[in-house]
Amino acid sequence: MVDNRAGAARITEADVAILGLGLMGRSIAAAHLRAGRSLTVWNRTPGRAGDLITQGARVAPSAAAAVTASQGPVIVCLTDHEAVRSVLGPLGRTLAGRTVVNLTSSTSGQARELAAWTAGHGAAYLDGAVIAVPRSMGGPDAVLLHSGDEKAFQQHLPVLRDLGTCVHIGSDPGLAALHDAALLTLMWGVLNSFLHGAALVGTAQVPAADFAVLANRWISSLTEFVTAYAEQIDTRAPVAKDASLDTHAAAMDHLLQESETAGVDVSLPRLFRTTLDQALADGRGGDSYAALIDQFRPRPRR
């Protein structure tokens, strides 16, 4: 993994092509313009460049024209993989010798497929997962996970860094998308649990804002569990140093009972308990919470 937050890399390229001017594409373009790049942009529906033009962006009449008018990376930010294939497909050898930086959300399989397709057309491929919202692009909070051709990553890093903190997480082009999915499950897990908790305390007229203060403190404390459990998972030694699964089972029963009594939806606590029950049935009540990883890992296909 290469983390390039530190150190000023030499600026080697000025001309960037951007295909796609939706909410994210426009923010990407604006961040590059703020960094002093020369941009050629294209969007399927004309008229979306708006302020980018007054800030210096050139608008190309086609995706092919945008690619040929520039020399630097070709940044693609469209709705989905199908849109990317439909835009890049007709370009073919126009991409030869260039680097496609695909910041469109996709699956790891789609990223690998696109990497193979671009290689077949003589282009380098870098996949990118944008862990940010449009308004934070170009700021310190925007994180971009890249995977794929590391040489291309190093070559274009001065440009890529206009958008935020860029991390290269491996040469397998699917890794950025895989991490994106893993971070999304974390986000939705935390957010759904916050909503469940807010609904629970809301039955006693506690404002969500009051609960949020405690919730945020608790979320910060949980980072210690994450670090400790990661080590236990990697070393396959889920020794209970804080609480055993048996102890968690009792606490989960309280949560279920409290939710049922309050009339709050019980699907989330039931999911927790079902996952735990499977581990208890395997005789793992004395293990640490990290032992539940086995309930999530892929099971052998029959």
Residues contributing to the site for ligand NAP (CB under 6 A) = 20-25, 43-45, 48, 77-80, 83, 86-87, 104-105, 130, 133-134
The backbone region for 244, taken as left when phi is positive above 0, alpha when psi lies in -120 to 50, beta otherwise, is beta
In whole angstroms, the minimum distance from the beta carbon of 165 to ligand NAP comes to 14
Identify which of residues 85 and 273 has a Cβ nearer to ligand NAP in the complex.
85
Q: Which is nearer to ligand NAP, 77 or 198 (CB)?
A: 77
In eight-state DSSP terms, residue 48 is -
Measure the CA–CA gap between 102 and 262, rounded to whole angstroms.
Answer: 47
- Count of residues making up the chain: 302
By three-state DSSP, how is residue 102 classified? strand
**Cα dist from 151 to 60, 94, 126, whole Å:** 28, 21, 10
* Closest distance of CB 187 from ligand NAP, Å: 12
Q: How far is the CB of 41 from ligand NAP (least distance, A)?
A: 10
- State the distance between the two ends of the chain, measured CA to CA, in whole angstroms: 35
Given the complex with ligand NAP, which of 48 and 273 has the nearer CB atom?
Answer: 48
Task: Tell me the closest approach of the beta carbon of residue 47 to ligand NAP, in angstroms.
Answer: 9
Q: How many H-runs (helices) and E-runs (strands) does the chain carry?
A: 11, 9
> Which tokens hold the place of 5?
């937050």
Contact 90, 106 (CB under 8 A): no
Residue with smaller CB distance to ligand NAP, 130 or 290:
130
Nearest distance in Å: CB 219, ligand NAP: 21
Closer to ligand NAP by Cβ: residue 80 or 242: 80
Q: Which is nearer to ligand NAP, 23 or 187 (CB)?
A: 23
- Closest CB 75 distance from ligand NAP, rounded Å: 11
Residue with smaller CB distance to ligand NAP, 176 or 268 = 176
Among 229, 228, 230, 193, which Cα is nearest to 211's? Answer: 193
Smallest gap, in angstroms, from Cβ of residue 29 to ligand NAP? 11
Q: Determine which helix (DSSP H) or strand (DSSP E) holds 139, and give its type and residue range.
A: none
> d(Cα 227, Cα 230) in Å, to the nearest integer?
5
Shortest Cβ contact with ligand NAP: which residue?
A: 22
User: Taking the CA of residue 53 as centre, how many other CA atoms within 13 Å lie in the half-sphere pointing to its CB?
Assistant: 9
